[in-house]
Amino acid sequence: MCMEMYVGLTDYDWYKEQKDKNYDEVNFWKPGTTSFKALNPNDLFLFKLKKPYYAIVGGGYFVGYSKLPLDMAWDTFTEKNGTKDKDAFFKWILDYKRKNNMDVNNPEIGCIILTDPFFFEEKDWIKPMSDWSGSIVQGKKYDIENGEGKRVYEEVLYKLSKTNILNVDNNINIGESSRLSAYYEALTKHRIGQGAFRVVVTDAYQRTCAVTGEKVLPVLQASHIKAFSENGPNEVNNGILLRSDIHTLFDRGYITVDTDYHIDISKTLKSDYENTQDYDKYHGQKLVAIPAEDHARPLREFLQWHNDNVFRG
């Protein structure tokens, strides 16, 4: 499948705050909550500055889209939202909403989550598409095999090769786009960061605790099944959404999930603590929330790791 490309409009201040930070991910947020369905995971998302700059100044690789409360968006991505602190982030969004006659009481924003972002120095900014309409207020999808989309796509690859972001021969000419493009599109599997992991797992479980069925979002946490400190990946199939107290017990080995998605409560929970009946009742039950898509479900390899290395038995 050929990689697709979307060009999104952003402010110079957002670009300036993100540039040179070497973040592993960024949140390209929108003040509204209209769904974003233009790209598939790992497709290319480019940043185009608004007037008076207009230039293409960088990009990233699409992970997913989610509607998040402001607090969660900040707690998840912090400065990767493009501001120095939470107050500035909230003010920026509320100013956008007021300016565009949007509901300032709506606590949610749209979050386009991107991994492996890159930003060009001003000398390397790319001339924008000549067919870009002044009526575009958010962005536009482009065909990378034809017209202005192809031209910009090839220039992006060329800039990345010259800055060694792509590990290819930096003597390549921009006209040798077929070789560079073929190499680049082979690199379509991008690792996601901790923030993206949290959001992707939360949405995969439909914002429901897998053990208790709790749906109050502020108390739900994305837990690694195989610990990140033990080289557990930030992949949705290594995640499980748990209420905060269940998450603590899971990480400490008092609760696990077997490879058939049944819950096991350790006998040591009762011996170590009193009044554990609120947790004992889950023993032997099947998870109440499991991702609908096979690729998002807990990988049995990771569940077995947790049973063998963390669970107290």
Per-residue model confidence as pLDDT tens digits over 54-107: 899 999 999 999 999 999 999 999 999 999 999 999 999 999 899 888 888 888
Tens digit of pLDDT for each residue in 168-217? 454 545 555 544 454 455 455 678 999 999 999 999 999 999 999 999 99
Q: Are residues 103 and 248 in the same domain?
A: no
Tokens of 105: 């009481």
Q: Are residues 176 and 238 in the same domain?
A: no
Determine what percent of the chain is predicted with pLDDT higher than 90: 80
Q: Are the C-beta atoms of 258 and 264 separated by less than 8 Å? A: yes
The two counts, helices (H) then strands (E), for the chain are 10, 10
Per the prediction, the chain carries an average pLDDT of: 91
Q: Are residues 198 and 180 in the same domain?
A: no
In 10 A of CB 225, how many CB atoms? 23
pLDDT of residue 186: 43
Q: Are residues 198 and 237 in the same domain?
A: yes
Q: Are residues 180 and 201 in the same domain?
A: no
Tens digit of pLDDT for each residue in 240-286? 999 999 999 999 999 999 999 999 999 999 999 989 999 999 999 99
Q: Name the one residue in this structure whose structure tokens are 């073929």.
A: 182
**Whole-number Å distance between alpha carbons of 101 and 97:** 6
Burial 256-288, CB ≥16 within 10 A → b, else e:
bbbeebebbbbeebeeeeeebeebeebeeeebe
Q: Are residues 204 and 270 in the same domain?
A: yes
Residue that terminates a domain, selected from 185, 219, 254: 185
Q: Are residues 215 and 277 in the same domain?
A: yes
Domain carrying residue 170: 5-185
- What's at 255, amino acid-wise? I
Within 8 A by CB and 6+ apart from 30, the residues are 36, 109, 110, 111, 112, 138
> What average pLDDT score do residues 15-27 get?
95
CATH of the domain at 48: 2.30.130.30
Q: Are residues 83 and 132 in the same domain?
A: yes
pLDDT of residue 156: 93
Q: Are residues 121 and 252 in the same domain?
A: no
User: In Å, how far from its chain's centre is CA 125?
Assistant: 25
pLDDT of residue 188: 52
Closest CA to 160 of 181, 139, 140, 145: 181
Within 8 A by CB and 6+ apart from 54, the residues are 48, 128, 132
**20: burial class by Cβ within 10 Å (0-12, 13-18, 19+)?**
exposed
Residue that terminates a domain, selected from 155, 185, 215: 185
Considering its fold, how many domains does the chain have in total?
A: 2
Residue that terminates a domain, selected from 144, 163, 185: 185
Q: Are residues 58 and 178 in the same domain?
A: yes
Q: Are residues 181 and 198 in the same domain?
A: no
Q: Are residues 222 and 294 in the same domain?
A: yes
Element housing 98 (H / E): helix 86-99
